[in-house]
Chains A and B, each alone.
Chain A
Amino acid sequence: MEYLADGLAAALHLLLHLDDATRAAIAATLLSTGYAMTAAMLLGLPVGFALGYASFPGKRALRLLSDTLLAFPTVLIGLLVYAFITYRGPLGEWGLLFTLPGMAIGQAVLALPIVVSWTAQAVESLDPRCRETLLTLGARPLQVARLTLWECRYAIGMVCVTAFGRVITEVGIAMMLGGNIRYATRTMTTAIALETSKGEFAQGIALGLVLLLMAFAVNLLLAFFRRRGRA
């Protein structure tokens, strides 16, 4: 057990005097997660809102597909995206493999079903009196849709935070599509895996602590949205 205590002490030292490699891993994690979340929100929010709000042919099939993709194994996502962005793949000439944008594509694919399904769920769960109230106040269809989305803001905030938490702690996609290249695509999770395999617990625990702090911040945000959403 001594090595754990030593690792923790060294981790605290590392955290206080962040070295270049740790800083780079944190930056890569935040960048790729940021790209992925931006893409997932831009694509997923309108689709999720439409699924929860409107009625159209094929809606149930789309919802079923989105719900099924929630259980998509991350390794399979990594494999599929790899097949597309590898040098022999259809997007190979873009040179995305082993880059942050390449990783972000895989992470966006992971986050997308979460954003779509849970946004749809949030809109469906909204009190039906909300729409009726807006209509009785003379709102036009576009105004009703806009205000319905606004009324779901806390629930949607919760969706974003949940998807962010899922993406930032993911390791399989980051490893397969990023290649764990130091100072380039090495994220906190892939660094932890690497350092642990080398027996460098201090570095691993330091990065683990940073991840834990982020998870704590994410949970604080979740609690905030949950509290506001219940009102």
Chain B
Amino acid sequence: MSALYECRDLVQRYAGREALRLPELTVDAGEVLALTGPNGCGKSTLLRLLAFLERPASGLLRYAGGAEPRQEVTLLLQDAYLMRCSVFANVTLGLRLRHQRQDLRAIYEECMRAVGFAAPGELAGRDRRALSGGERQRVALAARLALRPRVLLLDEPTASVDARSARAIVDAVRDCVRRGTTVICATHDRALMAALAAREVALGRRWDESESAAASAPPAGAGGAA
């Protein structure tokens, strides 16, 4: 596998305070990575850097994908935000931003079923206010799946949802992994890590990737068993 991301001496600061220090990290294409560590150790910051939402204060962050990384990489925030429009419009928003107008209904149905909605048609016209927290998170994930991203970044995707929603999210991400999507997930959820057979990278202490990797599950190149 070739390295998709390469980070070296990556540092991020907010208002002078160091939020992340990462000596080295390499992520191969198609790999599944679980970022772990205590609150405030920089997991979300690292995901934001990998999603190109912000630039690092210093260090190297190299992406070996296309020239427009934001068109290939997508991030699901921990507390996902839905726009003030219908569920259908939210799920297909990314496609419409890419000026895709065809097959929107079919893609919507497919992605909504992938995140565990049995009757997507009934939800299509619903406003975001009518959704529970778990449903919002799954709709937001469906919007990312609709893009068929090369890299899917997830920030604690199962942290604030019920068990049923968490299961649906895990299943949807596993499908993504099977299709060869690179998945990097910040999580405390051991079950999620096991289900995705993710390589664990622990942040927030003297960083040693090989040590962390040795203690974690093997890479998910073969698809990841539950």
Measured CB to CB, the closest approach of chain A to B125, in angstroms, equals 15
B175 CB → nearest A CB, Å? 20
The segment from B55-63, B73-81, B192-200, B213-221 found at the interface with A is B73-81
Contact yes or no, A137 B97, CB < 8 A: yes
Interface centre among A132, A136, A228 (most CB of B within 10 A): A136
Chain A residues near B48 (CB-CB < 8 A): 132
Contact, CB under 8 Å: B53 / A231: no
State the main secondary structure of chain B at its contact with A: mixed
Residue of A nearest to B82 (CB): A133
Contact, CB under 8 Å: A138 / B74: yes
Q: How far is the CA of A136 from the CA of B149 in the complex (A)?
A: 10
| B179 interface hit (Cβ, 8 Å) | no
A132 to B51 alpha-carbon distance, docked (Å): 10
Which residues in chain A, 130-172, are within 8 Å of chain B measured between CB atoms? Answer: 130, 132-140, 143, 147, 151, 153-154
Contact across chains for A138 and B79 when beta carbons are under 8 A apart: no
Contact size range, A: 10 to 19
Q: Is A129 an interface residue (CB 8 A)?
A: yes
Q: B127 — which chain A residues lie within 8 A by C-beta?
A: 231
Are B97 and A138 neighbours in the complex by a CB distance under 8 Å? yes
Q: Output the least CB separation between B84 and chain A (Å).
A: 6
Please tell me if the beta carbons of A129 and B97 are within 8 angstroms of each other in the complex: no
- Choose from A129, A137, A143 the contact partner of B79 (Cβ within 8 Å): A129
Give the CA-CA distance A130 to B75 in the complex, in Å.
13
Is B83 within 8 A of A136, CB to CB?
no
Interchain CB contact under 8 A, B70 and A135: yes
A19 within 8 A of B: no
Q: Could you tell me the distance between the alpha carbons of A214 and B48 in the complex, rounded to whole angstroms? A: 49
Distance in Å: Cβ of A153 to nearest Cβ of chain B: 8
A127 at the interface (CB under 8 A from B): yes
Interface flag for B71 (CB, 8 Å): yes
- Chain B residues contacting A231 (CB-CB under 8 Å) are 84, 127-129
User: Nearest residue in B to A143 (C-beta to C-beta)?
Assistant: B97
On whether the beta carbons of A139 and B81 are closer than 8 Å, the reply is: no
Q: How far is the CA of A181 from the CA of B77 in the complex (A)?
A: 61
Q: In the assembled complex, which residues on chain B have CB atoms less than 8 Å from the CB atom of A134?
A: 97
Q: Is B138 part of the binding interface, using a Cβ–Cβ cutoff of 8 Å?
A: no
Determine whether the beta carbon of B83 is less than 8 Å from that of A133: yes
Q: Nearest CB to that of B52 among chain A residues?
A: A135
A136→B79 contact, CB < 8 A = no
User: What distance in Å separates the Cβ of B173 from its nearest Cβ neighbour in chain A?
Assistant: 16
Instruction: Render B164-175 as a binary contact track against A, CB cut-off 8 A, 1 for contact.
Output: 000000000000
Q: Mark B119-156, 1 if CB is under 8 A from A, else 0.
A: 00000000111000000000010011001000000000
**A to B CB contacts below 8 Å, 5 in the list:** A132-B53, A133-B82, A133-B140, A135-B52, A151-B83
Which 7 pairs across A and B sit closest by C-beta, in order of nearness?
A129-B81, A137-B94, A136-B75, A133-B81, A231-B129, A138-B71, A139-B97
